[in-house]
Amino acid sequence: MDFSFTEKQELFRKSVRQFCEKKIAPYAAEIDENGEIPPGVIKDMAGFGLLGITISGKYGGLGADFTTAAIAAEEIARADISMATAVYYLVEAGWSHLFEKYGTEEAKREILPLVTKGDHFLGIASTEATGGSDIASTSTLMEKKNRKLILNGSKTYISGVREAAKYGGGYVTIVKTDPELGHKGLSFCYLPVKDQPGVTVKTIKQMGRGGMSNGIIIINNAQIPEHYLIGEWNKGFYYAMEGFNCARTLVAAACIGAAQKVLELGIEHLKVRNVFGSPLAKFEGLQFQVADNYIKLESARLLVHKAAWMLDSGDFSNPDLNKAIAAAKLAAPSAAFDIIKEVMMWFGAYGYTREAGLERGFRGVTSYIVGAEGAQNIMRSIIARELLGKEFST
Ligand SMILES: Cc1cc2nc3c(=O)[nH]c(=O)nc-3n(C[C@H](O)[C@H](O)[C@H](O)COP(=O)(O)OP(=O)(O)OC[C@H]3O[C@@H](n4cnc5c(N)ncnc54)[C@H](O)[C@@H]3O)c2cc1C
C-alpha cells in the first residue's frame, strides 16, 4: 500500500498548476461572465498537452493514464472553479479514450489530431429528452444504407454544442440500432456537428458553468461515413459504461480540485477576518467546521484516487471498478457542494457577491449533483447492484 504519487506525477502536478495559475485562473471570472472560454486559453491548453490528454502520441496526445488525467482535472478546476474549463478538458479526456480504443483507424487519423491541437471539440451525446438515466430507452435511430450511416433523432443537455458548431468538432453518440433488443440494440458512432448536413444545434441557458455551452442536437437524416461507427454494431451499451467510468472519475477529480481551492480560500479568510475582537479562526464552532470539511474532502479525494488507480489497471470488466467509480462520482460532487456552501457562509455577505467568485463554484459543482455524467441516484444504484447482486437491480 502506498498513498503517495510518483515523483513524475508530482512534477506533472506542479507544472500543470503553474500553467493553470498563469493561463486559466486570470480568465476565470471572464469565462463565466462572457459565456465562452477564450480561444487563446483553449489553444494554450492544447499547447501544454491538456486536450485529449489520454490520446496516444500517434495522434498528438500525451497518452496519459487516468491518474495523470485526474491530477490535471483537479488542477484545472482549482484554477476555474466554475467547472467550464474543467468540463471542456474532462469530456475530451474521458471520451476520446473510448474513441481511440474502439474507433476505426481512418476516423482516428481524421479526428483525434484535431482534438489534441484544440481545433475540434469532442463531446458525448447520450442524453435524450426521455431521460438521461435510462440509456436503454435511447430512441435516436441509426441504420446502414449504401455504405453510409443514417441518423435521425435528437440529443439534449449536451455540453459544448455551441463550441462544436462554431469551431468544429463532434460527439461520440449513442444510438439505437435494433429497437427490438433494448440495451443490447445500441451502438456508438462519431457524429460531426459543424457543416454536417442534417445536424443543427440549439443552446439551453444553464445556471452555471457559464463558459461552456449546453444544448440540443437535432439530427434529421444525417448521413455520415461508415467508418464513423465506433466499435461493433449493437455493443454500444457496454462502450457507454466504459466511457462513463472514465469521464466520471475525471468529474470527481475536478470537484476535488474546486473544493480544495475554496477550502484554502476559506481557511485564509478565517485567519484574517476579525469579528468580536478576534479572528474567526479562533472560534471553536468554525474550527470544527474546518476539520469536518477537511475530512469530507480527504475521504472523497481518496475515493477519486482509488478510482483512477483502478482504471489504470485496465480491467474494465472488474465489478469493483464500477462500484469504486460510482462511489467517487457520488462523494466528490456532494463534498464539493457542501464545502463551497459552508465556506460561502464563512465569508458572510461577501460570500454571496459575484466579486468573491465562490458562487461560481457553487453553481458549477451543482451540475454534477443534478446529473452531468450520471445522476447521483444512478451512482447509488450501481453501488447497490454490486453489493446486493444483479437479481435485485431494476
Ligand atoms: C450541466 C449538464 C451537462 C450535461 N452534459 C451532458 C453531455 O454532454 N452529454 C450528455 O449526453 N448528457 C449530458 N447531460 C445530461 C446528463 O447526463 C443527465 O442529466 C443525467 O444522465 C440524468 O438524466 P436526466 O437529467 O434526464 O434525469 P432523469 O433520468 O429523468 O432522472 C431524474 C431524477 O430521477 C433520479 N432517478 C432516475 N432513475 C432513478 C432510479 N431508477 N431510482 C432512483 N432515482 C432515479 C435521478 O437520480 C434524477 O435525480 C448534462 C447534464 C447537465 C446538468
What pLDDT band is residue 392 in, cutting at 50, 70 and 90?
confident
DSSP H or E segment with residue 192: strand 186-192
**How many angstroms is it from 139 CA to the middle of ligand 1?**
16
**How far is residue 362 CA from its own chain's centroid?**
16
Give the residue whose CA is nearest to atom 36 of ligand 1: 377
Residue type for position 110: E
Mean pLDDT of 276-301: 98
Three-state DSSP class for 46? helix
Q: What is the pLDDT of residue 130?
A: 86
Lining ligand 1 with CB less than 6 A are 123-127, 131-133, 157-159, 206, 214, 367, 370-372, 374-378, 381, 394
Cell numbers at 243, concatenated: 466511457
Mean pLDDT of 293-313: 97
What pLDDT band is residue 335 in, cutting at 50, 70 and 90?
very high
Length of the chain: 394
Mean pLDDT of 118-132: 94
**How many angstroms is it from 133 CA to the middle of ligand 1?**
5
**How many angstroms is it from 7 CA to the middle of ligand 1?**
38
Beta bridge partners, 159, equal 214
Q: What secondary structure letter does DSSP report for 211?
A: T
Atom of ligand 1 nearest to the CA of 370: 53
Spell out the domains of the chain, with CATH numbers in brackets.
7-116 (1.10.540.10), 121-236 (2.40.110.10), 238-392 (1.20.140.10)
Q: What is the pLDDT of residue 26?
A: 97
**How many Å is the maximal CA-CA distance in the chain?**
79
Atom of ligand 1 nearest to the CA of 174: 11
Q: What is the pLDDT of residue 279?
A: 98
Q: What is the pLDDT of residue 314?
A: 85
d(CA 334, CA 66): 22
Give the residue whose CA is nearest to atom 35 of ligand 1: 377
Mean pLDDT of 101-107: 97
Mean pLDDT of 315-331: 93
Q: What is the pLDDT of residue 349?
A: 97
Beta bridge partners, 181, equal none
Closest CA to 83 of 264, 259, 324, 347: 259
Cell numbers at 139, concatenated: 430512441
Mean pLDDT of 228-257: 96
What pLDDT band is residue 146 in, cutting at 50, 70 and 90?
very high
What pLDDT band is residue 116 in, cutting at 50, 70 and 90?
very high
**How many angstroms is it from 21 CA to the middle of ligand 1?**
32
List pLDDT tens digits, range 169-201.
999 999 999 999 989 999 999 999 999 999 999
SS (H, E, C) 160-184: CHHHHHHHCEEEEEEEECCHHHHHH
Mean pLDDT of 42-68: 97
List pLDDT tens digits, range 360-389.
999 999 999 998 999 999 999 999 999 999
**How many angstroms is it from 124 CA to the middle of ligand 1?**
13
**How many angstroms is it from 375 CA to the middle of ligand 1?**
5
- Cβ proximity of 324 and 306 under 8 Å: yes
Atom of ligand 1 nearest to the CA of 377: 47
Mean pLDDT of 271-297: 98
Task: Evaluate if residue 139 carries a pLDDT over 90.
Answer: yes
- What percentage of the chain carries pLDDT values higher than 70? 100
**Position with higher pLDDT, 3 vs 394:** 3
Q: What is the pLDDT of residue 132?
A: 84
Atom of ligand 1 nearest to the CA of 125: 11
Three-state DSSP class for 225? strand
Contacts of 83 (CB under 8 A, 6+ apart): 77, 208, 209, 212, 254, 258, 361, 364, 365, 367, 368
Among 154, 157, 216, 385, residue to substitute to test ligand 1 (most atoms within 8 Å of Cβ): 157
Give the residue whose CA is nearest to atom 28 of ligand 1: 131
Atom of ligand 1 nearest to the CA of 132: 23
Atom of ligand 1 nearest to the CA of 368: 53
DSSP string covering 35-102:
TS--HHHHHHHHHHT-TTTTS-GGGTS----HHHHHHHHHHHHHH-TTSHHHHHHHHHHHHHHHHHHH
Among 91, 122, 127, residue to substitute to test ligand 1 (most atoms within 8 Å of Cβ): 127
What pLDDT band is residue 166 in, cutting at 50, 70 and 90?
very high
Mean pLDDT score across all residues of the chain: 96
List pLDDT tens digits, range 62-90.
999 999 999 999 999 999 999 999 999 99
Q: Which residue has the cell 461560481?
A: 360
**How many angstroms is it from 159 CA to the middle of ligand 1?**
13
Among 206, 207, 378, 392, residue to substitute to test ligand 1 (most atoms within 8 Å of Cβ): 378
Q: What is the pLDDT of residue 227?
A: 97
Mean pLDDT of 258-276: 98
d(CA 10, CA 8): 5
